[in-house]
Amino acid sequence: MPFNVNQFRSELVGDGARSNLFQVEMTIPSFTNVAADSSRKLTFMCKGAQLPGTTIGTVQVPYFGREVKVAGNRTYPDWAVTIINDEDFTVRNSMEAWVDALNNPVLNIRDTAAKSSLNYTVNAVVKQFGKIGGGPGAVLGNNATPIKQYTFVGLFPVDISAIELDWGNNDQIEEFQVSFAYQYWTTTYPTGTDSITPISAIPSNFA
C-alpha cells in the first residue's frame, strides 16, 4: 500500500546499505618490487570503488517477421578504484611498475616476469560492511563479516589516470584512478553460496 511510511520502514530493516562502508583488498604482483607494502597500503588508501555491474547480451532470431530475443554472452565492464596518493607514492609506483611490466615504455616489449596472464593477473576483493560491522550475528572490530563481497578474477590495470597539479589547490590531497580489466567476478549471497565458484576455491592468481 503506498503512502504508509510504517510499511516502508518495516521493509528497510537495516536502515539501508551505506556506500562508505567498504574495503578493497588486492595482492599486487611481486615483480613490481614494492608489492608487499603497496598491497597493504592499497587497502587503506583506496577511498572509492564500485560493486560491479554486468551485462547479458541478446541474440535476435528472426521468425515470421518478428525477432525473438534469447540470452547471449555475458560481458564485464572495467572496474575502477580511486586511490589517495601519499608522499611515498607507494601505491602509484606499484601500479606504474605493473603497467611497465606489461609493456616497457622504451623497448615496447613485455617483461619476462609478466609473460602470461598466470603471472601478471591477480584477484581482488571488495567488501561491503554493515553499520555494526557486518550482517546478522557479525563480530564487531577487525573480524567483522561483510554483508556482501565480490571477487574479481584475473585482474590487471589498463588505465592509470593523471594527477592534476595546481598552485591554487590548497588543503587538498592528491588522488588518482586506476581502471582494471578482469575475466569475471563472483559474489556471495545470503545463503552463503556463490555464483559460479566459491570465493575460497579461487586461487590467488587467475589460472
**Gap between the Cα atoms of 195 and 188, Å rounded:** 7
Domain ranges of the chain: 15-201
Decide if 117 contacts 181 (C-beta within 8 A): no
pLDDT at 108 over 50: yes
Find the range with the poorest average confidence among 22-31, 105-114, 130-139.
Answer: 130-139
Reported as type and span, the H/E element at residue 84 is strand 79-84
Contacts of 182 (CB under 8 A, 6+ apart): 76, 78, 79, 121, 124, 152, 153, 154, 155, 156
**Gap between the Cα atoms of 144 and 37, Å rounded:** 23
**Gap between the Cα atoms of 177 and 163, Å rounded:** 9
Contacts of 199 (CB under 8 A, 6+ apart): 125, 149, 151, 186, 188
Domain formed by 15-201, architecture: Roll (2.30)
For residues 122 and 200, which has the higher predicted lDDT (pLDDT)?
Answer: 122
Residue 139 dihedral angles phi and psi, to the nearest 5°: -90, 130
What's residue 1's pLDDT? 60
What's residue 191's pLDDT? 54
Q: What percent of the chain has pLDDT over 90?
A: 70
Burial 14-47 (b: 16+ CB within 10 A, else e): eeeeeeebbbbbbbbbebbebbeebbebbeebbe
Q: What is the mean pLDDT of residues 25-34?
A: 89
Which residue, among 126, 28, 45, 26, has the nearest Cα to 83 in the 3D structure?
Answer: 45
- When pLDDT is cut at 50, 70 and 90, the band that residue 10 belongs to is confident
What's residue 193's pLDDT? 44
Largest CA distance in the chain: 67
Beta bridge partners of 84: 175
What's residue 178's pLDDT? 98
Site of grid cell 597500503: 41
pLDDT at 194 over 60: no
Residue 95 dihedral angles phi and psi, to the nearest 5°: -65, -40
What's residue 28's pLDDT? 94
pLDDT at 175 over 90: yes
